[in-house]
Structure 1
Amino acid sequence: MSQAPSTSFVQHLNFLARDASNESAALQAAVSLGLLNPLGATPVPLSELARRLGANVRGVRSVIEPLVALGFVTLEEGRGYSLPESTAAFLSDASFMSRLKENHDGWHAVALLPQAVRTGADVEGRDVLGWYRALFLEPQVSAPNARAEDFFDRSARNFARTQALVTAAELGLLERWVKGPGSLDALAEALGVPARSLEVLVKVLATMGIAQEVEGTWAFTEDAARMLDANSLPYFQRALPATMAYWEALGHLDEAVREQRFRLDLRDPQTARRIYQENASRISGIFASHLRLSRKAAELVRGMRSLAGARVLDVGTGSGVWGAAFGLADPSTHVTFLDSPHVLDAVRPHLAKLKLEARSRLWEGDCLSVDYGEAAYDVILLPQIIPALPSESLPGFFAKLARALRPGGVLLISGYLLTDRRDGPLDALYFALRRYVSNEGDVLSMPEFRALLNPVGLTSARGFDLPIQQVVVAHRGEHAWPEGAA
């Protein structure tokens, strides 16, 4: 039996695929906005920081929260944000800051890397391959201190690492390495690209722990080979188009914060339709694995109340995986799947395959405008939709949902859950950053959820960790919590 890749490597590669560009965008925006300039040893409240910058409070918060989690900024409860001495030291180094800003100019250029590797030439007047050589493969200027070097690496290189991974997938290099090693010339011939440009890409991948050269041939490292085999590689590569959908918007994050101008505006119906349809299709491709995870949530609820004969509503269903999990939890449940017509088209095949059609209803509508009725459902599911909704709509939305719950009803909200101080976890903060830059809603903490749930009578609420996700479960106090599950 082959060994599993190390947990640290799996986390590293998933970070590069999903969150590294978000991290770089936050750090780069902090510099370009001058977000750190007003900060010193005395804490500055968020509202005052936004006022000094002439920027949007929500946008400033979306940028500064990851910096707190990374330790570059300090948050004092009730007082505001300040700078640790190590951050203040490199901010005052003019040479370092100049070098940092120069490398930030590469954001939009690195998106041309696939074309640069294919041609081996400059693209749109930019020497993209030379930029990668200088940043990854040539001797570097020393940073003022270790903290400064960490800031530089995260802001100037992480987004470029993501683009190298995207390029390797797009060119078919990762699939080629699943078959085995090859010399640089053989790989270049198989992919139809110049060997000299492919050499830059594979050497950058080597600095990322993905590739290695052994006796004149290039291949996956041991950890990469274990993680990216023939079965798992297609699953892994599905995350990359979603990352690229936000690329331009993240590259203009400072513009969104200062001017509230969004290059990817998901409040625009046509843009939202395209992105959400792509998301539903992408999730459908990994439906089986998500179904196994979603059934854990159904087991959690069933540990609190019976699902026999339950009427379940899946709001903003996406692929339908959450509603399907509850439909399979008991042969007498009935599930209503609510979403837009083009998204529900992706749900139908799954219901047919799982033989759930007879106990299912497809409801076409907008979750904020439909009438949910009164005491109509035993369980209402919100699968990762809260961050997609405007924050100002949430009080009324939760009031409608609470009214629609029967006595003994349960509301289950899946998705990311921030710490009470909104200073982590980092992947949740990066997800929240994406939501801001696409003009959507926000990721919430448990106190923020309770502030919305208590006024509508859902006074008992707790967060639970499930495999790769978190859920918030709320009810009116009728049920005991499962032991050891929180």
Structure 2
Amino acid sequence: MNGTPPTSDRIMMLINGYWATGIIGASASHSVFTHLEAGADTAVLLAARAGISERGARTLLDGLVSLGLVEAHDGRYRNSPDAATYLVDGRPECLSDFARLKMGHMGALSDLPDVVRAGEPLTNAVVEVADNPHWERLVTAIAAQSAPVAAIAAETLRLADAGEISILDVGGGSGVYSATWLKLNPAARATQLDWRPINAIAARRLADQGVADRFTCIDGDFHTTDFGTAAYDVAVYSHIAHQESPEDNIEIFARLRDALKPGGTLVLNDYVVTDDRGGPPFALVFGAEMLLKSRHGGTWRRADYQSWLTKAGFTDVTFQSTPSPATLVFAR
């Protein structure tokens, strides 16, 4: 046989993948990336700035070098471009909160063999209930993932110059789409439909960003709450379709179409896989998260979205890749 003989190195790294979650989560917990960015470029300096042991600092730095998130040069360390962009505290796209959150999810993976056998999550694993304290941390942690995608969608739709438009964000969580778009367009108004505890989080965040006067919340379950008729220019359904069944997505898409004014646009954002289920890698792996936590969800194909949106009455469906693991879908 030609080529490099197989080795176990990659498989060992994958089997021990939880080390990566732990190393990144611990580094985020101690603001390692932030201290590196501020010049703490040795294990000694990092330990002093972060208030951790020198041995602990060196161990985290070694792990981060292995993961490609930190670069080592002559005994000094610096963030990789990815880490500098996405893991330094205070930056709008910072994923450190999400890294800390995921450390608490590692134990749930031990249930995966039983969940795979059953084809659905264990009873105590389902998170889609309004009073789950899980939402307080989750919706805040994932806001950074959606912020750049919301900006891309706004540019594609030219929302900054769209004038007095009305926006409906179904299951809007942190309110990141409303916040991004209202800041870009001072004439726009946005309405978010979500459970009361989640809307309270969004209202606080939009107040902090100075756009609360043009933001309204409807407390309710989007499965049963009326969206209205011909009331909105743009509707958003971001990171919701993956937790819903095909039948529920079709029904919700049809109601969203009815809620849009003539010529209005539905914006979807989700982890979408190719029709042959050959990629992208993150979207394929994310299916395990849905199996663990959702009764009917999954990572759906482009063909699924095309079919569902067509059945719901949309005639123009386009897909747009983003620098994130998610894909934007525009339906008119």
> TM-score if structure 2 supplies the norm length?
0.80
Paired with 1:418 and 1:464, the residues of 2 have a C-alpha distance of 13
Paired with 2:248 and 2:82, the residues of 1 have a C-alpha distance of 45
1:141-220 matches, cutoff 5 A: 146-147=5-6, 149=8, 152-170=11-29, 177=36, 178-182=38-42, 187=47, 191=51, 193=53, 195=55, 202-209=61-68, 210=70, 212=72, 214=74, 219-220=76-77
Equivalent position of 2:272 in the other structure: 417
C-alpha change, 1:230 and 1:456, in structure 2 (3 Å) is: closer
Question: Are 2:309 and 1:450 equivalent residues in the alignment?
Answer: no
Question: Are 2:165 and 1:295 equivalent residues in the alignment?
Answer: no
Deviations 1:223-278 (A, max 9, x none): 548944998256242231232243122232111101334386234526x7322221
1:321-400 matches, cutoff 5 A: 321-400=176-255
C-alpha change, 1:252 and 1:377, in structure 2 (3 Å) is: same
Paired with 2:79 and 2:276, the residues of 1 have a C-alpha distance of 35
Contact 1:309 1:332 in 2 (8 A): yes
Q: CA deviation at 1:296?
A: 2.8
Alignment RMSD: 3.7
3-state SS of the aligned residue for 2:329? Answer: strand
3-state SS of the aligned residue for 1:252? Answer: helix
1:468-483 matches, cutoff 5 A: 468=324, 469-475=326-332
3-state SS of the aligned residue for 2:225? Answer: coil
Q: CA deviation at 1:176?
A: 5.3
C-alpha change, 1:311 and 1:188, in structure 2 (3 Å) is: closer
Contact 2:233 2:261 in 1 (8 A): yes
Paired with 2:28 and 2:290, the residues of 1 have a C-alpha distance of 25
1:23-172 matches, cutoff 5 A: 146-147=5-6, 149=8, 152-170=11-29
Contact 1:460 1:474 in 2 (8 A): yes
Paired with 2:267 and 2:169, the residues of 1 have a C-alpha distance of 10
Paired with 2:122 and 2:25, the residues of 1 have a C-alpha distance of 24
Question: Are 2:295 and 1:436 equivalent residues in the alignment?
Answer: no
3-state SS of the aligned residue for 2:314? Answer: coil
Deviations 1:429-449 (A, max 9, x none): 122321222125222222101
* Number of equivalenced pairs: 322
Q: CA deviation at 1:345?
A: 1.7
From 401, 404, 429, give the equivalent of 2:259.
404
Deviations 1:255-308 (A, max 9, x none): 1101334386234526x7322221222245x4xx955642331232248xx843
3-state SS of the aligned residue for 1:462? Answer: strand
3-state SS of the aligned residue for 1:381? Answer: strand
Larger of the two Rg values belongs to structure: 1
Deviations 1:114-171 (A, max 9, x none): xxxxxxxxxxxxxxxxxxxxxxxxxxxxxxx844525523432322233233334445
Q: CA deviation at 1:378?
A: 2.2
Structure 1's unaligned 5+ residue stretches are 1-84, 86-144, 476-486
Equivalent position of 1:240 in the other structure: 99
Q: CA deviation at 1:315?
A: 0.6
From 252, 258, 262, give the equivalent of 2:111.
252
Amino acid at match of 1:282: A
By percentage of residues, which structure has more helix? 1
Say which structure, 1 or 2, has more relative contact order (CA 8 Å, 6+ apart).
1
Contact 1:238 1:282 in 2 (8 A): yes
> TM-score if structure 1 supplies the norm length?
0.57
C-alpha change, 1:148 and 1:300, in structure 2 (3 Å) is: same
Q: CA deviation at 1:317?
A: 1.0
From 110, 113, 129, give the equivalent of 1:269.
129
Contact 1:291 1:322 in 2 (8 A): yes
Contact 2:167 2:189 in 1 (8 A): yes
Paired with 1:183 and 1:302, the residues of 2 have a C-alpha distance of 47
Deviations 1:73-123 (A, max 9, x none): xxxxxxxxxxxx9xxxxxxxxxxxxxxxxxxxxxxxxxxxxxxxxxxxxxx
Paired with 2:197 and 2:291, the residues of 1 have a C-alpha distance of 25
Q: CA deviation at 1:421?
A: 1.2
Paired with 1:326 and 1:158, the residues of 2 have a C-alpha distance of 37
Structure 2's unaligned 5+ residue stretches are none
